[in-house]
Amino acid sequence: MASWNQKTFKDLTNSKPLFLTIYTVVIVGVIFSSIYVFSAIYGTKSPSYTSWSLSSSLTPSYAPDGDSAYADRGLKPSRPGTEARRPDVVLKTPSTWTRPIWELPPPGAKMPPLKAFRLTKQLVKQRVKDNVIIVTFGNYAFMDFILNWVKHLTDLGVYNLLVGAMDTKLLEALYWKGIPVFDMGSHMTTTDPGWGSPAFHKMGREKVTLIDTMLPFGYELLMCDTDMVWLKNPLPYIARFPGADLLTSTDQVVPTVVDDSLEVWQHVTGAYNIGIFHWRPTDSAKKLAKEWREMLLADEKIWDQNGFNEIVHKQLGPSVDDESGLVYAFDGNLKLGFLPTSIFCSGHTFFVQAMYQQLRLEPYAVHTTFQYAGTEGKRHRLREAMVFIDEPEYYNSPGGFLSFKPSIPKHLLLDGEHSVESHFALVNYQLKQIRTALAIASLLNRTLVMPPLWCRFDRLWFPHSGTLEGSMTRQPFLCPLDHVFEVNVMLKELPEEEFGPKIDIREYSFLENPLLPNQFR
């Protein structure tokens, strides 16, 4: 037995190099496995985003006090954890700004504190791409418009966007839907302010404050109202004009170009519309934003758009060059360009003139201006154009639907002069058919799919000769429902004892909408 032990020990001694090799390999393997496990648990995983999200490896952080969006309101950024945390220390946590858009917070997640949504340069940095950020803002009353705005951009493959929430109800709702949102600190009402109201003007001032706050961050800013829809990625178009400090939409109804060039500035007579405009963080642009904000804060009676037009017109001209279409404006250094209204459409050039169709151009955007039924009218127009994404229940009706094909005599549409008389004869003929259809829908408890309406005259809030001179409005033309009906009143909940049972309606394009489930076709 002893001799066997001696022999065994001798063999092990002779095989010591092999033993040490095996032992070393095992130890190294354990070390590398440990490193891998710890990195998988504690490391920052680079997200693999689908086509719904912005690819970014950045994580949320709390920026220094100097980056606070509303520092002048006395709101100082507070950081989680100890007060001794250095300003440049990044707090790496999952957030609504780094997750893919539309990806919901993980199960069991809690709503972060309100201060985590404060607008800072570091927050914006999470969403920026190619130094551009696209921003809209609103209160809870415009939740569906905001979701529609975001969905159209993400469907176009554009993810460098942020939404400013003017009330905490909207902020929380967007957070739980996976939308990158920040707090504007506005303490806004959650109801529709209505055009021209004090709350409406407050929203305008908040927009200007937002622009003045964000430009010093150093990013290009494409600012949009929520009542517009992106139909085509605008960023390649904007990149064609790198020399522009500011590109703005207009209320121009007469085209000055027939292609996709910028409008000829000398011929732009419509107001400069601030529903869609792109800012570069140049000294002149920052100076304009600051002066514009100070003007509005000094006089609460000034409408933000009128103030913008006034300040830009301090100097207008000469042209920057012979090719770009840009013009010197404001302080003589600001290079300004006007987005063509044929493709950055207003409510008139899109819904009435269909200018882009006549010029055979592809529209980038539509803004629901030039309409007459408030927020309900804006929503209905977008539905008519099938560019508003509703919740599934909108496409259902407990009693079913009723539609009909209107019959209009040729002479009412085409014969004779286009006059007040011929216009009303055409419209009244259609109203009689719609009245009958509404009665049948009421008796059958069905939702009426409104027919397309034809008009010979435009509807405007000032005297005109039937159509705007120089515009591309054809006669007759397919007119929006709010040209004839008070859509906002029709959609209200009115006392049944006074107005009778409510009759639900849908837009004329409802049955052609791809979102309509097949069983209803």
Q: Give 89-146 pLDDT, tens digit per residue.
A: 333 444 667 889 999 999 999 999 999 999 999 999 999 999 999 999 999 999 999 9
Q: Is the pLDDT of residue 202 over 80?
A: no
Residue 365: strand pairing partners: 230, 344
- Give mean pLDDT, residues 363-381: 96
Which residue from 433, 418, 407 is spatially nearest to 467, judged by alpha carbons? Answer: 418
Amino acid at position 297, single letter: L
Indicate the helix (H) or strand (E) that contains 229. strand 228-230
Residue 84: pLDDT band with limits 50, 70, 90:
very low
Give the tens place of pLDDT for each residue, 482-514: 999 999 999 988 899 998 899 999 999 999 999
Between vectors from CA 354 to CA 349 and to CA 358, what angle results, nearest 5°? 115
How far apart CA 474 and CA 153 sit, in angstroms, is 31
Query: Average pLDDT, whole number, for the chain?
Result: 84
Residue 68 contacts by C-beta under 8 Å, 6 or more apart in sequence? 75, 76, 77, 118, 119, 120
Mean pLDDT of 72-100: 43
C-beta neighbour count of 295 within 10 angstroms:
16
Q: What is the mean pLDDT of residues 456-480?
A: 94
C-beta separation of 370 from 353 below 8 A: no
C-alpha to C-alpha distance for 241 and 228, rounded to whole angstroms? 22
To the nearest whole percent, how much of the chain has pLDDT over 70?
80
Q: Which of 307, 309, 310, 326 is nearest to 318 (CA)?
A: 326
User: Which residue in 207, 166, 222, 196 sits closest to 308, CA to CA?
Assistant: 207
Tell me, rounded to whole angstroms, the distance of Cα 49 from its chain centroid.
Answer: 21
The two structure tokens encoding residue 11: 């063999």
Cis? peptide before 476, omega within 30° of 0: yes
Q: Are 341 and 247 in contact (CB under 8 A)?
A: no
pLDDT recorded at residue 285? 98
- Per-residue pLDDT band for 452 (boundaries 50, 70, 90) equals very high
Mean pLDDT of the 449-477 span: 95
> Which letter does DSSP use for residue 28 in this model?
H
Is the separation of the CB atoms in 277 and 367 below 8 Å? no
| Amino acid (one-letter) located at 116 | A
Q: Sorting pLDDT into bands at 50, 70 and 90, what band is 196?
A: low
Q: Residue 250 forms beta bridges with which residues?
A: 272
CATH 3.90.550 fits 114-359, yes or no: yes
The 10s digit of each residue's pLDDT in 290-326 is 999 999 999 988 989 999 999 999 999 999 999 999 9
Dump pLDDT digits (tens) for 23-35: 444 444 544 444 4
pLDDT winner (highest mean) among 202-211, 394-403, 424-433: 424-433
Written as one string, the DSSP assignment of 233-291 is --HHHHHT-TT-SEEEEE---S-S-SSSSPP-GGG--SPEEEEEEEE---HHHHHHHHH
Q: How far is CA 28 from CA 16, 18, 22, 33, 369, in A?
A: 18, 16, 10, 9, 69
Residues 222-243 have pLDDT tens digits of: 999 999 999 999 999 999 999 9
In this predicted structure, which of 3-17, 60-74, 95-109 has the lowest mean pLDDT? 60-74
Q: Is the pLDDT of residue 53 over 60?
A: no
CA quadruple 294, 299, 303, 304: dihedral, nearest 10? 10
Tens of pLDDT, residues 328-344: 999 999 999 999 999 99
Check residue 102 and give its pLDDT.
96
The enclosing H or E element of 228 equals: strand 228-230
Phi, psi of 437 (to 5 degrees): -65, -40
Q: How confident is the model at residue 457 (pLDDT cuts 50, 70, 90)?
A: very high
The pLDDT value given to residue 188: 79
Question: Who's near 177: CB < 8 A, 6+ residues apart?
Answer: 102, 104, 147
- Predicted local distance difference test score (pLDDT) of residue 201: 65
What mean pLDDT comes out for the span 54-73? 32
User: What pLDDT sits at residue 162?
Assistant: 98
Beta-carbon contacts of residue 12 (< 8 Å; ≥ 6 apart): 19
How many degrees, rounded to 5, is the angle at CA 277 between CA 275 and CA 279? 145
Domain ranges of the chain: 114-359, 399-520
